[in-house]
Amino acid sequence: VKANGQSFLNLFIPQSFKLRLILILTISQLLFLATIMLVGYSFIGHTIQEQLDKRVMAYKSQFESSIKTAMISLDTGTLHSVGQQAIMLPDITEFVIYIENHSVINEVATNKIPISKLRVSHKVFASGINIGRVDFTISLDGINANKSHIIFTMLLICFFELIIASLLAVLIGSYVGKRASYLVSGIEKYASGDLSFQYEKISNDEFGFIARSFNTMAQNINENSNSLEKLRAQNIESSKMAALGEMSAGIAHEINNPLSIILGKTTFLVEKVKLGLISNENLESELHKIENMANRIEKIINGLRIVSRNSENDLMESVNIGPIIEDSLSLCMQRFRSSDVKLNFKTQINSDIYIHGRSAQISQVILNLLGNAFDAVQNYDEKWVELSANATTETLTISVTDSGNGIAPNIVEKLMLPFFTTKAIGKGTGLGLSISKSIIENHKGKFYYDQYSGNTRFVIELPLVR
């Protein structure tokens, strides 16, 4: 009912601030004028009545003093001339003198018949005895005409006042409305994405105060978000460097192995070739082994180059996901191997799967997940980590699962928060997952912890380039 009532009222209240202001000003003027009219009307009525009473009193005493002696001495001549004079007085239309026991002594009347009149009857006393009376009629037409005239003039003044007030209301409404819409248009601009918007016209009044406050606020927000953006970029960098540092021992080992194989094999081959003790076939197969080892080293170096470069300024481009996954895996392979953690790789994607993005950042996310899984499985008897990749026609799904049985719900809530870590001081920054999430979301993808998997599983979903 209340909602109905409100919407019913809303039908009559204009939405625009300017129209509302005009309406309020006009209505308040109307109320003000109506009050003035009422007060004025009753004041005029009161004043006129008072004057009439005074006039009646004055007539009574005037007539009494001029006829009293003539009444006592029954001087009809004088009474008659008093009557003639009385009828000449303004507004007196009838004048009758009665004497006790003699009925009417004198009666005069004008031939004007008033529309509204007041009859007055006044008894005359001599030494406490009623000796007669004088009756007279006062025409109220003149007074009424005066009253109407005054009221008409008042109404006219009010009418013009109302017109002037309405014009003023329109002017004030337009002025205030214009100032308000200047503010509104600026805020709209800001809201629609023009974050550098600032008001240029700033007055010294309350509107100017709002505009100035807005300018300061927008500036502060911009500065804050700029420094937040910088901080985010720095975080991405520093967490990447930390991960690289952690991996570097493994990487050195990873490179050393094939390198010593290459060295061993080349020394061995040089001797054999010198002595002519090797067949071409054998030489070729040994050289292939050396080539393979060199390729492995090249991959690792490539991976390192991709991850360690500052990718913030890289353009988003179509990148093949296969090599990114392979490079990431080869970067941490040795670390897993030397800690006896099994690293499985299950992929069902073709070699021509492309996503739109920055390869270094995607590889950083994969390494973050592999690093977390690696850390987690250290606590379990069964130690394995599985990286899998699948693609539908639209989406690429990469997931990292480890041998853990999931993460406690109270920790899951906070996983993605920046700086949340359960690791020892100096071991984890707590930035890995939050940065990974923001990287994947920047790539228009989804990054989440899979609460329905039997094991601990994190998922990356990215849209494919078609």
Q: Which residue, 296 or 437, has its beta carbon nearer to ligand ATP?
A: 437
432 binds Mg ion, rule: CB under 5 A: yes
The answer for residues whose C-beta is within 8 angstroms of residue 202's C-beta and 6 or more apart is 208, 211, 212, 215
Residue 61: which of 14, 124, 141, 129 has the closest Cα? Answer: 124
Rounded to 5 degrees, what are φ and ψ at 75? -85, 85
366 binds ligand ATP, rule: CB under 6 A: no
- Cα of 458 vs its chain's centroid, Å: 37
Closest residue to ligand ATP, Cβ-based? 432
Instruction: Please list the helix, strand and coil fractions of the chain in percent, rounded to the nearest 5, in that order.
Output: 60, 15, 25
417 vs 216, 343, 435, 459, CA distance in Å? 30, 27, 9, 17
Q: Which residue, 98 or 458, has its beta carbon nearer to ligand ATP?
A: 458
Residue type present at position 295: N
Run of H or E including 150:
helix 141-191
DSSP 67-116: HHHHHHTT-HHHHHHHHHHHHHSTTEEEEEEEETTTEEEEEEE-S---SS
Out of 70, 433, 439, 462, the only residue in the binding site for ligand ATP (CB under 6 A) is: 433
Out of 415, 440, 459, 460, the only residue in the binding site for ligand ATP (CB under 6 A) is: 415
Q: From ligand ATP, Mg ion, none, which one binds at residue 429 (CB under 5 to 8 Å depending on kind)?
A: ligand ATP
Closest residue to Mg ion, Cβ-based? 432
Out of 114, 420, 455, 465, the only residue in the binding site for ligand ATP (CB under 6 A) is: 420
Stretch of residues binding Mg ion (CB under 5 A), selected from 70-78, 275-283, 370-378, 397-405: 370-378
Give me 320's structure tokens. 């093949």
The answer for residues whose C-beta is within 8 angstroms of residue 272's C-beta and 6 or more apart is 278, 283
Out of 311, 359, 361, 372, the only residue in the binding site for Mg ion (CB under 5 A) is: 372
Q: How far is the CB of 397 from ligand ATP (least distance, A)?
A: 17
Stretch of residues binding ligand ATP (CB under 6 A), selected from 253-261, 315-323, 328-336, 424-432: 424-432
* Size of interface with ligand ATP, in residues (CB under 6 A): 23
Q: Which residue, 77 or 426, has its beta carbon nearer to ligand ATP?
A: 426
- Length of the chain equals 466
456 binds ligand ATP, rule: CB under 6 A: yes
Out of 430, 446, 450, 455, the only residue in the binding site for ligand ATP (CB under 6 A) is: 430
Whole-number Å distance between alpha carbons of 49 and 454? 102
Residue type present at position 219: Q
83 binds Mg ion, rule: CB under 5 A: no
Q: Which residue, 407 or 465, has its beta carbon nearer to ligand ATP?
A: 407
Rounded to 5 degrees, what are φ and ψ at 326? -60, -45
Q: Tokens 């009424």 — which residue? A: 144
Alpha-helix residue ranges (DSSP H) falling in 339-448: 359-377, 409-412, 432-442
Whole-number Å distance between alpha carbons of 350 and 370? 22
- Residue 426, number of CB atoms within 10 A of its CB: 6
342 binds ligand ATP, rule: CB under 6 A: no
Stretch of residues binding ligand ATP (CB under 6 A), selected from 57-65, 307-315, 318-326, 400-408: 400-408
Q: How far is the CB of 343 from ligand ATP (least distance, A)?
A: 14
The answer for residues whose C-beta is within 8 angstroms of residue 452's C-beta and 6 or more apart is none
Q: How far is the CB of 386 from ligand ATP (least distance, A)?
A: 12
Give me 152's structure tokens. 């008409």
Q: From Mg ion, ligand ATP, none, which one binds at residue 402 (CB under 5 to 8 Å depending on kind)?
A: ligand ATP
Q: How far is the CB of 419 from ligand ATP (least distance, A)?
A: 8
Q: Is 317 helix (H, G, I), strand (E, B) or coil?
A: strand
Q: How far is the CB of 252 from ligand ATP (least distance, A)?
A: 20
Out of 293, 431, 439, 460, the only residue in the binding site for ligand ATP (CB under 6 A) is: 431
Out of 311, 330, 361, 372, the only residue in the binding site for ligand ATP (CB under 6 A) is: 372
Q: Which residue, 29 or 361, has its beta carbon nearer to ligand ATP?
A: 361
Q: Which residue, 360 or 373, has its beta carbon nearer to ligand ATP?
A: 373
Residues lying near Mg ion in the complex (CB under 5 A) are found at 372, 432
Residues lying near ligand ATP in the complex (CB under 6 A) are found at 239, 242, 368, 372-373, 376, 402, 404, 407, 411, 415, 420-423, 428-434, 456
